[in-house]
Amino acid sequence: MAIFDPAVHLAYEAPKHFLTMSDLGLGHLKTLSPIACTDPFPLLNLEGVKALREEIFSKPVIESYRREHVLAKCQLRGFAPHIGPFTEALWTHPATIQACSDAAGMELVPIMPYELGHTNIQALDGLDSLGRDPLPPLPPLVPHDSDTESLDDEAPEVEKVVGWHVDSYPWVCVVMLSDASSMMGGDTALEGGDGKIYRVRGPELGWAVMLQGKYINHMACGAWNSRERVTMVTSYRAKDSSLIDDSTLKTIRMCSDTNEIYLQWASYRLKLLSERFRAKYDQIEEKKSEAGLQVAGKFKDILGKDDFKEWVGEQIKYLQMTMDEIV
């Protein structure tokens, strides 16, 4: 098995274009960023793709971490912290985090170890046909010359890879691990605010997209004229703990080991809260220092009691959501 090295396995180039929330008619939503989805951009080279595939299609991962549920027929989840050292190292390395942050236009961090390297799989000849090397493409049918189009093109009936949903977490990075050069379909469908469906072309081998999927109803469409469609997804939140974090466990509880996911959920939520409390404490101490000595009976409202009470109320809501998601 390979050891991750960004100099050997990464090939990041910034995306050239992106869709905004306003482009989709969703500009009214309270989100972390105006960016809805980036164009595909290079993230991994072929060696990086092969190293990931060698790990995820190993017998221990397939036997212990394969999931099937109402939204998806074949997924691999939760393996990275336990038997996926390359996957874990890739997604937690500062160079990879910086690349994803740069593409999204804001500083991000992975949400939880469980969500490193979630993999969605569609295989024409079954899971046993997949391995380290991407399967060769089938002969092309027709050229595709647009990156974004409506979903009313004629297409054969192909089972979706992941059904319509909104993500549990604010941001995802989706990287293609299959040769998509002659693939038809395999796109991500996005639902706009007026109900119009947009189709964003799937990335090339080793390329990725950043999607603010918590706020956009979307679907991973099935592929045809392709032996496989394998994508790896890692979820992110804002690095700045003062920013909104409206993550939930709604769409992932059904396909996760709840004992493990609840432990990691509690840990990350408490860590974020500890950062918020420490920052608020430092802010209050700074205000006190700036105010200097006060005359008895003539103290100013150094605290800013109304703002402080509002802030405390927000943290109570955050704690309540933390508790409510553990069912």
What are the domain boundaries of the chain? Answer: 6-256, 269-324
**Which pLDDT belongs to residue 71?**
75
Contact between residue 117 and residue 87 where contact means Cβ atoms under 8 Å apart: yes
> Residues of 238-255 as b/e, b for ≥16 C-beta within 10 angstroms?
beebeeebbbbbebbbeb
pTM of the model: 0.88
Nearest alpha carbon to residue 233 among 186, 175, 171, 164: 175
Alpha helices in the chain (DSSP H): 6-9, 46-56, 59-65, 80-83, 85-92, 94-104, 258-291, 305-324
151 neighbors 199 (Cβ within 8 angstroms): yes
Give the model's pLDDT for residue 148: 45
Q: Which residues of 157-192 are buried (b: 16+ CB within 10 A; e: fewer)?
A: ebebbbeebebbbbbbbbbbbbbbebbbbbbbbbbb
pLDDT for the residue numbered 289: 86
- CATH architecture, domain defined by 6-256: Sandwich (2.60)
Q: Along the chain (327 residues), what's the average pLDDT of each consecutive run of 10 residues?
A: 96 96 95 95 98 97 92 91 98 98 97 97 92 91 51 51 87 95 84 91 92 93 85 97 95 93 98 98 91 71 93 98 97
The alpha carbon of residue 124 and the mean position of all alpha carbons in its chain are separated, in whole angstroms, by 26
Using CA atoms, how far apart are residues 90 and 83, in angstroms rounded to an integer? 14
Closest by Cα among 116, 100, 4, 133 to 61? 116
| Residues whose CB is less than 8 angstroms from the CB of residue 268 and which lie 6 or more positions away in sequence, other chains included | 111, 112
